[in-house]
Chains A and B, each alone.
Chain A
């Protein structure tokens, strides 16, 4: 059996005195997908930032590729793609220049060709030379997904990847996630409710007040998530 790509043991995070994550245990195998659902402020984004090595946990351990995320070496960081609420893009660069820059950082052989390939995949080829500052939130979201995936990482961390997207945009991102799983990448995504991504089975977790629970039936989570979002809780 393959070693987990992601493992957490008793993971905890507090901001000041406020606990955000409490005793989180999680394991994800290569090629597996997981959706973590929960209300706003439940700790979903914090969990992803810790797994990406951008924040240190207050307690417990988080391991990615068997390495402690507090000190991830460059060769492990390059295998992680994070799509967060913020796009990490430069507003005064064009879409192509942004992707070329990140392709450069990841030492991709032909950054220009790679940028153009991804712009085609996310349906932004026609606005390749337009500055990102003029993009709608949905367009920036798609470009952010391409930025996270341009190095074809073995672990994709996606924070609410379908937020702000119209139907076509959501289809594009769903296709990219499906493609990543099919090439063997592991995916952890957050959402308010588990979406349907045809042909891909996800393990569903629910996070509430910093506690993570696995749900056997994602339909249950989906209904709960929708209800919570409708109630605004």
Chain B
């Protein structure tokens, strides 16, 4: 079995055993959606716009929690040193951590979308299916960014607090594109009409997946 599969299998096994990340992601998504559904004035804001915004706020918070936890497990007992000492390529470690974060985030997103439809009184129709590629692009970009940054912040005291301060401002371009594209998708617009927003998200994904792949070995070490 390759190192990639070994790390991914280990992370999934740890998560299935504890359920900590997935449950926390779902609980956080629900909290954000509940707060926003009551905070936003339905008479003044279109429900699709409010729903799209609420969904992405939930997704960003959930993504940060997931990425933080993924590398936190490696700091226990210094396990990260065991990985760095092994023949495992740090870029492969990044790919495995990114994939694990993506899987956790995808589970949280499915839950968040169901809650969004219920809380914002939307219909389960084709517009929900059109959200899938938009959310997938957002999840890839955010997971890559958060995995890379959490490798840095995990080495510092109070790194949990530092991650959102670093990640959210960097994610803003993809966040705006994601919210706009999601609102358009929920309003029934075809994917082709949101090409510019999707291009921004694709560019963001390519940038941070490549950056993580190339830079992870320089940030995950201890010296």
Contact = CB atoms under 8 A, between A and B. Distances in A.
Chains A and B are bound partners: yes
B160 interface: no
Given A56-B223, A92-B17, A93-B14, A78 B86 contact: yes
Nearest to A80: B85
Interface in A55-82: 55-56, 74-75, 77-78, 80, 82
Interface stretch (B74-82, B121-129, B144-152): B74-82
A157 to B, nearest CB: 9
Tell me the dominant secondary structure on chain B's binding face.
helix
Contact of A54 (B1, B7, B18, B81): B81
Interface in A166-225: none
B187 interface: no
Contacts, number: 76
Contacts of B46: none
B85 A52 contact: yes
A73 to B, nearest CB: 9
Which size bracket describes the interface of A in this complex?
A: 20 to 34
B10 to A, nearest CB: 5
Which size bracket describes the interface of B in this complex?
A: 20 to 34
Contacts of A87: 77-78
Contacts of B77: 86-91
Nearest to A131: B17
A75 B222 CA distance: 21
A97 B11 CA distance: 12
B81 A88 contact: yes
A75 B85 contact: no
B222 A88 contact: no
A51 B22 CA distance: 39
B174 to A, nearest CB: 33
A21 to B, nearest CB: 13
Interface stretch (A3-11, A99-107, A119-127): A99-107
A147 interface: yes
B10 A90 contact: yes
B6 interface: yes
A56 B221 CA distance: 10
A53 interface: yes
B170 interface: no
A106 B85 contact: no
A105 B223 contact: no
B6 A54 contact: no
A54 B3 contact: no
B14 A55 contact: no
Contacts of B221: 54
Interface of A: 52-56, 74-75, 77-78, 80, 82, 84, 86-93, 97, 101-102, 104-107, 111, 147
17 contacts: A52-B85, A54-B81, A55-B222, A56-B223, A74-B89, A87-B77, A90-B14, A90-B76, A92-B18, A92-B73, A93-B10, A97-B13, A102-B82, A105-B3, A105-B88, A107-B87, A111-B1
The 3 A-B residue pairs with the shortest CB-CB distance in the complex, in nearest-first order: A88-B82, A86-B78, A104-B6
